[in-house]
Amino acid sequence: MRQSKFDALVAEAEAVSVDGWDFSWLDGRATEQRPSWGYQRLLGARLARVEAALDVETGGGEVLDGCPSLPPLTAATESWPPNVARASARLRPRGVVVVATDDLPFGDDVFDLVSSRHPVTTDWAGIARVLRPGGSYFSQQVGPASVFELVEFFLGPQPSEARESRHPDRAVAAAADAGLEVVDLRSESLRTEFFDIGAVVYFLRKVIWMVPGFTVEQYRPQLKELHELIERDGPFVAHTTRFLIEARKP
Domains of the chain, CATH where assigned: 5-248 (3.40.50.150)
pLDDT of 120-131, one tens digit each? Answer: 999 999 999 999
User: Is the pLDDT at 145 greater than 70, yes or no?
Assistant: yes
The answer to whether residue 28 scores a pLDDT higher than 70 is yes
- Residue type at position 142: V
SS3 40: helix
Residues listed for the chain: 250
What is the phi/psi pair of residue 102, to 5°?
-110, 15
Q: Count of CB atoms within 10 A of residue 89's CB?
A: 12
pLDDT score of 99 = 98
Residues 6+ positions from 25 with CB-CB distance below 8 Å: 16, 202
Alpha carbons 174 and 194: distance in angstroms, whole number: 34
- For residue 21, the model assigns a pLDDT of 74
User: Has this prediction a pTM greater than 0.75?
Assistant: yes
Average pLDDT rounded to a whole number, residues 39-57: 98
Tell me the average pLDDT across 96-125: 97
Taking residues 18-41, report their average pLDDT: 93
3-state helix, strand, coil in the chain (%, to 5): 40, 25, 35
Average pLDDT over residues 29-55: 98
Q: Over the stretch 190-230, which tens digit does the pLDDT of each residue have?
A: 999 999 999 999 999 999 889 999 999 999 999 999 999 99
Share of the chain above pLDDT 90, in %: 92
Task: Please give the C-alpha separations between residue 114 and each of 53, 69, 76, 144, in angstroms, as whole numbers.
Answer: 6, 15, 9, 23
Residue 20 has pLDDT above 90, yes or no: no
For 179, the 3-state DSSP assignment is coil
> By the 8 A CB rule, do 114 and 127 touch?
yes
Nearest to 144 by CA among 125, 126, 124, 158: 158
Highest mean pLDDT among 52-56, 80-84, 165-169: 52-56
Taking 70 as the threshold, does the pLDDT of residue 1 lie above it?
no
Using CA atoms, how far apart are residues 233 and 172, in angstroms rounded to an integer?
40
